[in-house]
Structure 1
Amino acid sequence: MTELFSRFLTFSRAEWARLRDEAPMALSAEEVARLRTMGDRLDLAGVEEVYPPLSRLLAMHVEAAQALFQARRRFLGDTGTKVPFIIGIGGSVAVGKSTTARVLQALLSRWPRTPRVNLVTTDGFLRPNVELERRALMRRKGFPESYDLPALLRFLSDVKAGAHLVRAPVYSHLTYDVLPGEAAVVDRPDILILEGINVLHAGAPPHGGQNVPFVSDFLDFTIYIDAAEEALAGWYVERFLALRDTAFRDPQSYFHRYAKLSDAEAIETADALWQGINLVNLRENILPTRVRADLILRKEENHQVEEIALRRL
């Protein structure tokens, strides 16, 4: 990884853990278990060695951004309020983005100057299934073209403008669709964490010299969670098997038809979904954004972060 990321400083897990200093660590084993999403094997030791140094680094960035904002406000004679610091978390399906986002939200909210930390996922900005079906995009769900990008950009623009009560659509993993009329409300938090597979995607430049913003233009700090393809494939299959025995059994589940599959049938189905959809998206759209991140968390097959790469200033 060192050769590939020459623009990054790389740390082993032990080296990174020594950077914790006075970072607050107030998560119990029970809290870690509650924050952990299905299939993730994060434990208290993993949290203590990786996430307090990261929350300390992020708190420094937030404080520096707030100081710069105050200085610029004085320069302009502006009386406006501070704007939220937005952290983007990207990476493959099944890599553990949700767990990372939730742990960081819990830790950052313990810093004295960042008590209000909101978390929004980009899943809510997927186009509704009926629209994806009309556009023949159901097999491309999760690819960049399956998102309502204008809506996501409007949301981020309003948040960055310091608007009150900004609404984000909500996604149901049970029905595998956006929930009509449901919304998460963001009201000028100190920090907003935006989690999603394509938050670092820039897309192709438009023709004609038009200026088109990207999601990453609104992000103040970005994190990419990385793992080998073989590990990701294994985690995806494991999660599919766990869901078959839990959420898929709900008659309201979009995937209820998979609930009665045998182990062999479930593994074959999950592998086909991984190979035909998620791996393609990873290689074409997600993995190429890795080098755009400010920080990369590299996971090994045991789901533990063993290497951290921090972009050089």
Structure 2
Amino acid sequence: MSLNRKEGVSGGPFQLFDRNEWRNLNGQFSYDLMQSDIANLHALNEPLTIEEIEDIYFPLAHLLNIMLQETKQVHVNVNGFLQKHTQKLPFIIGIAGSVAVGKSTTARVLQKVLSMLPGKPKVDLVTTDGFLYPNATLIERGILNRKGFPESYDTKLLLNFLAAMKSGEECFEVPMYSHVEYDILKDRKQLVHQPEILIVEGINVLQVNSTTGNNIFVSDYFDYAIYVDADEADIMDWYINRFESLRATSFQNPDSYFHRFANMNAEESLAMATNIWNEINKPNLRENILPTRYRADLILEKGSHHFVKNVRVRKV
């Protein structure tokens, strides 16, 4: 697929807002964020400022709240028509994008800001890392080096989880993933219990190449979908820089799956990270992730500094 960033946009279904235009759209909500919140929200080598949250995520929360309130009203109206009193179902937001583009930070910041909306809704965040097959299964199938590709996920379990949320089930146990062990944790689960808003973050959440043998897709359960975007060259640089930072920090942990890389010098680290990018992450981005970009309702376009420079919103 062509990587032309203009593809499908000019005269297409999206409205483009530069950063200043987007910031000025927020005229309703303000939040009391502390500088100490920043440390708990951003990931390694991903700069995050209060200004970024105010300029980008406050307007985004305002927009999502409009969608949320509209969904609530539809629920009331339909219940009235059907003469039923069914419970409200969670408003599900999907967040997609490449490895190292900053999806996790986007998801955490959005969870924080949405939880501060009027009424203080309960907002849960689930990452699709927990739906990866265990390493033993990946090794048995000969696809450990394709972790992150569609076939490495237990898509059936992910679909069951989303179906349960949209069926009104009270709670669901979600597998948890350890980036230190590089594997699913056998004895830990995340309990998702009746959130008002559920954020589902992962590189694969907008893909339609189903591995379950049916025509139901993860995104079918989303009320709103966001894609975090950037130039491929920038994402590659961010990935390599993150790998080097991890080599100097978490890779030093003897329990880390990647501890064997801890004693690499800078040149060896660069070569290893570049090889992983070229052999795994770049093909996955081009073949599976990037083609889903225009399935989103909103695209956050980042510049080389890791901050959002443009926002594209699907026309309604």
Distance in 2, matches of 1:78 and 1:182, equals: 38
Q: 1:247 aligns with which of 242, 250, 259?
A: 250
Alpha-carbon shift at residue 100 of structure 1 (Å): 0.5
Q: Which residue of 1 aligns with 2:125?
A: 119
Q: Which residue of 2 aligns with 1:182?
A: 188
Shift of the 21–2 alpha-carbon distance from structure 1 to 2, 3 Å rule, reads farther
Q: 1:257 aligns with which of 256, 260, 272?
A: 260
Alpha-carbon shift at residue 32 of structure 1 (Å): 1.7
Q: Which residue of 1 aligns with 2:175?
A: 169
Matched, 1:192 2:176: no
Distance in 1, matches of 2:263 and 2:292, equals: 37
Alpha-carbon shift at residue 86 of structure 1 (Å): 0.3
Q: Which residue of 2 aligns with 1:134?
A: 140
Distance in 2, matches of 1:30 and 1:175, equals: 28
Identify the range of structure 1 (72-81 vs 286-295) with the bigger mean alpha-carbon deviation.
72-81
Distance in 2, matches of 1:145 and 1:184, equals: 23
Contact 1:121/1:195 (<8 A) preserved: yes
Contact 1:26/1:107 (<8 A) preserved: no
Aligned residues: 310
Shift of the 226–300 alpha-carbon distance from structure 1 to 2, 3 Å rule, reads same
Q: Which residue of 2 aligns with 1:235?
A: 238
Give a deviation string over 1:131-169, Cα, whole Å, max 9, x none: 000001111100001000110000000011111121110
Alpha-carbon shift at residue 4 of structure 1 (Å): 3.5
Distance in 2, matches of 1:47 and 1:275, equals: 32
Distance in 1, matches of 2:93 and 2:7, equals: 26
Alpha-carbon shift at residue 42 of structure 1 (Å): 1.7
3-state SS of the aligned residue for 1:39?
Answer: coil
Identify the range of structure 1 (21-30 vs 79-88) with the bigger mean alpha-carbon deviation.
21-30
Q: Which residue of 1 aligns with 2:45?
A: 39
Identify the range of structure 1 (279-288 vs 155-164) with the bigger mean alpha-carbon deviation.
155-164
Contact 2:173/2:192 (<8 A) preserved: yes
Distance in 2, matches of 1:220 and 1:231, equals: 30
One-letter code aligned to 1:140: R
Distance in 1, matches of 2:298 and 2:179, equals: 28
Distance in 2, matches of 1:102 and 1:76, equals: 37
Give a deviation string over 1:156-212, Cα, whole Å, max 9, x none: 000111111211100000000000131111111110000000100011699xxx852
Distance in 1, matches of 2:307 and 2:211, equals: 36
**TM-score by structure 2 length?**
0.95
Identity rate of aligned residues, in percent? 46
Give a deviation string over 1:29-63, Cα, whole Å, max 9, x none: 22123211111012111111111000000111111
Contact 2:155/2:211 (<8 A) preserved: no
Shift of the 227–220 alpha-carbon distance from structure 1 to 2, 3 Å rule, reads same
Aligned ranges 1:11-160 → 2 under 5 Å? 11-160=17-166
Matched, 1:4 2:12: no
Matched, 1:276 2:282: no
Distance in 2, matches of 1:244 and 1:204, equals: 35
Q: Give runs of ≥4 in structure 1 deviating > 2 Å.
A: 1-4
Give a deviation string over 1:267-287, Cα, whole Å, max 9, x none: 100000001000000000000
Where in structure 1 are there 5+ consecutive unaligned residues?
none
Identify the range of structure 1 (23-32 vs 86-95) with the bigger mean alpha-carbon deviation.
23-32
Give a deviation string over 1:218-242, Cα, whole Å, max 9, x none: 0100000000010001000110011
Contact 1:114/1:190 (<8 A) preserved: no
Aligned-residue Cα RMSD (Å) equals 1.4
Identify the range of structure 1 (72-81 vs 166-175) with the bigger mean alpha-carbon deviation.
72-81
Give a deviation string over 1:93-131, Cα, whole Å, max 9, x none: 000011110101011001124520000000000000000
Contact 2:150/2:211 (<8 A) preserved: no
Q: Which residue of 1 aligns with 2:215?
A: 212
3-state SS of the aligned residue for 2:268?
Answer: helix
One-letter code aligned to 1:101: A
Q: Which residue of 1 aligns with 2:310?
A: 307
Shift of the 7–104 alpha-carbon distance from structure 1 to 2, 3 Å rule, reads same
Shift of the 250–144 alpha-carbon distance from structure 1 to 2, 3 Å rule, reads same
